[in-house]
């Protein structure tokens, strides 16, 4: 058993008060359509808060509940990593082995170790960035077919020289897992991780024809508070890096199992989940966040977001599963929830409720704009169009609703950005500023 630092447990705020504060903080997000899914917060082995919001299926009017199964996207990665580490504990492989030992024909396999794959230091391009991948992933593919999609691409850097997040790494790890264990990826996880941890509502979505009881449908924010169906994805293409589904209670069981030797021995956990930093073995790791060590797994996929946050020194767990691609379920919610649990200052609840503004004013904001070179997509151009009570931002092939929260301020629902229109002394619209978390960007009107 791994001993927790009991003295680090935060006992300054009573359990009931924490639950009440969380309830009050989350309520406006749910009321304004910016939170659908289920949230679980636990401390010291006690579930302090568990509540669901919105619908698992809007067409059938089925509400989300603690039994709803959500796709967890990249929160799947820690499971793949744990499986590889189990095989190392059994002496069947070593993370220092080269890929070529198991996949002799994979290009540069003699230069890339399993540890490079686990830590995103392989240099293999991310399959998500390959041209035409959206069309490719609408059809089912085997692991070998998925890997063939990126196998021939040149490395982006020498293995081990830097780190760059790549989903391709975990596709490869899944195939190596199958070759070493002699079991399919799904079967291995079920027998060696899900069942030992008591996870009865978790599985691998590798066959689109298979029914998944209590499965949530995936959505994208649309309009002021509504949703539309997310783009289709055949989840077989995410094997190893993102095709698991689960519930908040099952992920909490996984969290509990990681505090024991049920899945991994103590020495393995100490080495790979305590001493590591940055993105390692499926986890983002902060040695200090609000004064507490945090291991977080985060996932985004068409129609879904997921987050599993573990504070191992405090025995605190925060889980948010959502069937919306909107990122409010991660920021600012995760940071606010941890502040509430640890009795620290909570960021103010962002303005979300739509206000009515004159149609002429809304129309005056319509036009074409351009971000600068510091934007995520350097110098990206976008168009604002006036709709019924809101603005529609079209950037690339993506639409995002901008909800007016004042006559000059808007909430961008998909990535939870806060936009302020700028005007000159004569009142003419000259551009806007957009804040995403701690990043602020400026765009000028063309």
Domain range list for the chain:
6-341, 359-445
Rg (CA), the chain: 23
CB 270 within 8 A of CB 205: no
The pTM for the full model equals 0.93
Q: Does domain 359-445 have CATH number 3.40.50?
A: no
Over the stretch 137-171, which tens digit does the pLDDT of each residue have? 999 999 999 999 999 999 999 999 999 999 999 99
- Identify the pLDDT of residue 310: 95
pLDDT at 276 over 90: no
Distance, CA of 17 to CA of 128 (rounded, Å): 42
Residue 219 — pLDDT band, cuts 50, 70, 90?
Answer: very high
6-341 and 359-445 agree in CATH topology:
no
Superfamily name and number for 6-341? DD-peptidase/beta-lactamase superfamily (3.40.710.10)
Residue 329 — pLDDT band, cuts 50, 70, 90?
Answer: low
- Any residues with CB less than 8 A from the CB of 211 and at least 6 apart, and which? none
- The CA-atom distances, in angstroms, between 156 and each of 122, 153, 215, 324, 427 are 9, 9, 38, 32, 48
Residue 7 or 352, more confident:
352
Going by C-alpha positions, the residue among 400, 402, 403 that lies closest to residue 354 is 403
């Amino acid at each position: 058993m791994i001993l927790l630092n009991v003295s680090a447990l935060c006992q300054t705020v009573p359990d009931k008060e924490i639950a009440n504060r969380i309830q009050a903080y989350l309520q406006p997000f749910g009321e304004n359509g910016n939170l659908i899914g289920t949230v679980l917060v636990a401390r010291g082995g006690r579930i302090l808060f568990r509540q669901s919001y919105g619908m698992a299926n809007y067409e059938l009017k089925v509400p989300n509940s603690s039994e709803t199964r959500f796709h967890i996207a990249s929160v799947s990665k820690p499971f793949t990593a744990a499986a590889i580490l189990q095989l190392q504990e059994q002496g069947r492989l070593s993370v220092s082995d080269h890929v070529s030992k198991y996949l002799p024909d994979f290009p540069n396999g003699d230069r890339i170790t399993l540890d490079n794959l686990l830590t995103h230091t392989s240099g293999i391009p991310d399959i998500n960035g390959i041209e035409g991948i959206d069309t490719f992933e609408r059809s089912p593919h085997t692991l070998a077919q998925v890997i063939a999609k990126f196998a021939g691409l040149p490395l982006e850097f020498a293995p081990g020289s830097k780190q760059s997040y790549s989903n391709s790494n975990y596709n490869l790890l899944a195939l190596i897992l199958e070759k070493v264990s002699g079991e399919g990826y799904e079967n291995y996880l079920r027998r060696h991780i899900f069942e030992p941890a008591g996870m009865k509502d978790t599985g691998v979505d590798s066959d689109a024809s298979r029914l998944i009881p209590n499965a949530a449908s995936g959505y994208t924010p649309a309009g002021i508070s509504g949703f539309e169906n997310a783009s289709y994805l055949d989840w077989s293409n995410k094997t190893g890096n993102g095709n698991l589904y689960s519930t908040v209670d099952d992920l909490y069981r996984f969290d509990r199992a990681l505090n024991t030797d049920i899945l991994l021995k103590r020495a393995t956990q100490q080495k790979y989940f305590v001493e590591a930093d940055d993105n390692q073995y499926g986890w983002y790791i902060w040695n200090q966040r609000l004064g507490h060590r945090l291991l977080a797994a985060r996932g985004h996929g068409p129609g879904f977001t997921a987050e599993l946050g573990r504070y191992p020194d405090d025995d605190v767990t925060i889980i948010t599963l959502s069937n919306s691609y909107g990122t409010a379920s991660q920021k600012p919610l995760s940071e606010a929830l941890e502040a509430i649990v640890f009795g620290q200052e909570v960021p103010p609840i962002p303005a979300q409720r739509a206000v009515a503004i004159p149609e002429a004013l809304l129309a005056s904001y319509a036009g074409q704009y351009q971000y600068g070179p510091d934007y995520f997509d350097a110098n990206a151009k976008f168009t604002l169009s006036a709709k019924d009570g809101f603005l529609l931002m079209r950037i690339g092939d993506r639409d995002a609703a901008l909800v007016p929260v004042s006559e000059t301020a808007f909430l961008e629902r998909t990535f939870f950005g806060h936009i302020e229109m700028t005007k000159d002394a004569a009142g003419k619209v000259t551009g806007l500023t957009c804040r995403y978390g701690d990043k602020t960007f400026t765009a000028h009107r063309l």
